[in-house]
Structure 1
Amino acid sequence: MLTKKHCYVITGGPGVGKTTLLNELAKRDYHIVPEHARAIIKQEIDNGRDGLPWGNKERYTHLMLEAAVLSYHAVQTNKEFHFFDRGILDAICYADMVDIEISAKMDQLAKGLRYNNKVFILPPWQEIYHTDEERKQTWQEALYTFSQMKATYLNYGYELVEVPIDTVQNRADFVIRQIDKNP
């Protein structure tokens, strides 16, 4: 098992402010590993392929998992903090949500490639939620995704820290205080 203790996942359902929070952390000179979902969706659409959450869900899951694993390996372990916009378990959770069997290989990746045990999860926030070309989930689907993300990360033994609904500056301050408490 490989654990990268200086690598933190920021997760949650869609449209809860993850990317905004990560951009604020980047302004504060933290290393950020961006989410791959939007890039995968755009690339699939641009190339006329069907690896989309509303298309070939199995292909989309494979692309998401592959991108998450590559991102994990790309970050060298050192003393600098890195924040991931979603992690390997987000792809596992998605697969489970759309009834794709979690293969032994997928489970092995999830168990063998670990981030810091403390995972930051952002709760649903209806006031900022909106859909667009890549985010087509309804508000109810967003709520369901949040609950499934919680269950998935807990199932794999992570400690979830819920980031309060607040200004982006206060959310970033909260995250930084939490990592400063980490041994």
Structure 2
Amino acid sequence: MKIKSVKNLLIGGPSTGKSTVIEALSDLGYFCFPEISREVTLEARQLGIEHLFLDDPLRFSEMLLKGRIKQFEEAETLDTRHVFMDRGIPDVTAYMDHFQEDYPKEFQKANKTHVYDNVFLFPIWNDIYTQDNERFEDLDLAESLQDSLVKTYRDLGYPLIEVPKTRIHVRMNFILNSIKTK
């Protein structure tokens, strides 16, 4: 009998430690889906588009949405108890709303038809925040994006489980202890 995978989502503003925890969970043998925005950004750069999100936010968001839906649907087919995902489908509309960009109704429909079981919020943490070639957001923008993410997920009815600002293994154990009974 196939197990229904519990979809555990890690959300938060840029540079809050999500990807680091995803890598640590993967190292422990959990099935994890990485953040795909860097992949989309690098793909666009290979096509000569330096900042796809800034140059064509709708195209960027459509590519992200497609990739995140693909991850969600793949998670539905896995025969494993827990799946972890770095960012989710509602992140797309949270960013579009934040930047006051228009998007098709299918974006909101995707938010409602693809529901995660647990949503872990990684708070903004000044001590670990960094910018790089793919992360254009400064700390102030990261904080306001965090607010948009929280609003979007709460408006969709998700209870957010805040992950403490501490060492990686403690954050990981916090998440694993939170899902033990599910």
Q: TM-score, normalised by structure 2?
A: 0.92
Aligned to 1:97: 98
Q: Is the 8 A contact 2:41 2:52 kept in 1?
A: yes
Partners of 2:97 and 2:60 in 1: CA distance: 13
Structure 1 SS opposite 2:95: helix
Partners of 1:102 and 1:56 in 2: CA distance: 12
Q: Is the 8 A contact 1:50 1:56 kept in 2?
A: no
Are 1:129 and 2:152 an aligned pair? no
For each residue in 1:136-164, what CA deviation from the matched residue of structure 2 results, as whole angstroms up to 9, or x when unmatched?
10100010111111111111111100000
Kindly report which structure 2 residues correspond to 1:74-85, keeping only aligned pairs within 5 A, or say none: 74-75=74-75, 76=77, 78-85=79-86
Q: Is the 8 A contact 1:16 1:125 kept in 2?
A: yes
Aligned to 2:34: 34
Q: Is the 8 A contact 1:35 1:86 kept in 2?
A: yes
Deviation (angstroms), 1:49: 3.3
Deviation (angstroms), 1:48: 1.2
Aligned to 2:89: 88
Aligned to 2:52: 52
Partners of 1:129 and 1:69 in 2: CA distance: 28
Q: Detail structure 1 runs of 4+ shifted over 4 Å in the superposition.
A: none
Gaps of 5+ in 1: none
What amino acid is the match of 2:159? E
Partners of 1:106 and 1:5 in 2: CA distance: 24
Are 1:112 and 2:110 an aligned pair? no
Aligned to 1:162: 162
Aligned to 2:24: 24
Gaps of 5+ in 2: none
Partners of 1:112 and 1:181 in 2: CA distance: 25
Partners of 2:24 and 2:38 in 1: CA distance: 19
Which deviates more, 26-35 or 75-84?
Answer: 75-84
Partners of 1:103 and 1:43 in 2: CA distance: 23
Q: Pairwise CA RMSD of aligned residues?
A: 1.5
Partners of 1:95 and 1:10 in 2: CA distance: 19
Higher helix share: 2
Q: Is the 8 A contact 1:9 1:120 kept in 2?
A: yes
Aligned to 1:145: 145
Which deviates more, 21-30 or 170-179?
Answer: 21-30
Which deviates more, 68-77 or 140-149?
Answer: 68-77
Partners of 1:129 and 1:53 in 2: CA distance: 20
Corresponding residue pairs, total: 178
